[in-house]
Amino acid sequence: MVRGRVTGRLWSTKRINTLPQGALLNVELQDGSSIIALDPLGCGEGEEVLITQGSVAAGYFQDIKAPIDALIIGSIDDHN
Amino acid sequence: MVRGRVTGRLWSTKRINTLPQGALLNVELQDGSSIIALDPLGCGEGEEVLITQGSVAAGYFQDIKAPIDALIIGSIDDHN
Amino acid sequence: MVRGRVTGRLWSTKRINTLPQGALLNVELQDGSSIIALDPLGCGEGEEVLITQGSVAAGYFQDIKAPIDALIIGSIDDHN
Amino acid sequence: MVRGRVTGRLWSTKRINTLPQGALLNVELQDGSSIIALDPLGCGEGEEVLITQGSVAAGYFQDIKAPIDALIIGSIDDHN
Amino acid sequence: MVRGRVTGRLWSTKRINTLPQGALLNVELQDGSSIIALDPLGCGEGEEVLITQGSVAAGYFQDIKAPIDALIIGSIDDHN
């Protein structure tokens, strides 16, 4: 997984119909690059999050074949 | 997912037969690199799009095992 | 697989419910970047470990669809 | 997908038995790096090709679990 | 696939039980980075090899869900 910080949100009206509901958040990773991750946890701007990538991100959605390759799986409390 | 801007289109006549119909768009990503993504939404040059990568891109196609590793899943309205 | 050294641990209370129990370790890879890997082996800080990435990391968990894309699969004894 | 140009071919006699027949072509990508892709289309040196990567590349082979992570899926006619 | 040269071997006694038997080889890739790949072919130091990555690497193992994301699939004879 990778760690990043939520920096914003984006909206897409023209989208494929298997894209799940949920916020699409812009997350800045530790190396300075950004990815867009689906957020099932209701995270806010500035929050530090844990992201999983690839097909396992889609596996979170049970009833649809979600075209999702990045998912926020936790909000980070603390680390040493 | 990653965000990018459509910069062109390419054509391939000599192709494997499981490659789905649909435009193959050249998309420039935020880091300056380019990828080719299949577009089921009819996006045009200059449009900002959201792309999913890996095996979940192929999962969008129900009846064939599509050899697709990048799919446009939405057109971006706006972001903050 | 990639090789890295455990540099710390992080905690996440607000998390999706399919995230398995187990330590989430921060591992510094040979190229200087860091990833977060789930640790089923009880590794400690400073230990050199072997990490597998992608959907095979999730396959280790039998009963749940774990949203894990990085797993510690061994502690490195020695190498030449 | 990524775009590249065929720069050569390689041979491997000592190989695992699930590696499909077919040319293993060296392809130089747009960023200057090279990958080896299986070619089911009979492409020649200098030809510009479209490559898919990851598990979907293996999905092209029906009867075997091919250990292939890069496949040429088309020859590029033209692009704008 | 990627091409690399075997530069050493590593051992791991404390390991998860689904990690297959077989040598874990350190392979230096053409870009100078290194990965650890499982070797079912008995390759030696200095040998030039072809490596497949991702979930297809694990698919080589029939009876277990092997947590392997890199597998040597051939030894390279020659290339032009």
Residue A67: is its pLDDT beyond 90? Answer: yes
Q: Which of D11, D15, D35 sits opposite E78 (nearest CB)?
A: D11
ipTM of the complex, rounded to two decimals: 0.95
* Residue ranges with strand state E in B1-80: 2-11, 23-29, 34-39, 48-53, 70-75, 78-79
Over residues B28-40, the mean pLDDT reads: 96
Phi, psi at A59, each rounded to 5°: -65, -15
Over residues B20-34, the mean pLDDT reads: 95
Q: Closest residue of C to E45, CA-based?
A: C80
- C2-75 adopts what CATH topology? OB fold (Dihydrolipoamide Acetyltransferase, E2P) (2.40.50)
- For residue A79, the model assigns a pLDDT of 63
Locate tokens 């006549």: which residue? Answer: B13
How big is the CA angle at D54 (ends E69 and B15), to the nearest 5 degrees? 155
Which H or E element spans position E58?
helix E55-58
Residue B39 is classified by DSSP as E
Low-confidence ranges of chain C (pLDDT < 70): 78-80
pLDDT tens-digit profile, chain D (80 residues): 999 999 999 999 999 999 998 999 999 999 999 999 999 999 999 999 999 999 999 999 988 889 999 999 999 996 66
Substitution target in B47, B55, B62, B79 with the highest count of A β-carbons within 10 Å is B79
CB < 8 Å to B60, chain A = 16, 18, 65, 67
The pLDDT confidence band at residue E79, using thresholds 50, 70 and 90, is low
Residue C10 is classified by DSSP as E
**Average model confidence (pLDDT) for chain D?**
94
Please state, for a pLDDT cut of 90, what percent of chain B lies above it.
Answer: 89
**Average model confidence (pLDDT) for chain A?**
94
Over residues E46-60, the mean pLDDT reads: 97
Is the CB of residue B57 less than 8 Å away from at least one CB of chain D?
Answer: yes
Q: Closest residue of C to A32, CA-based?
A: C33
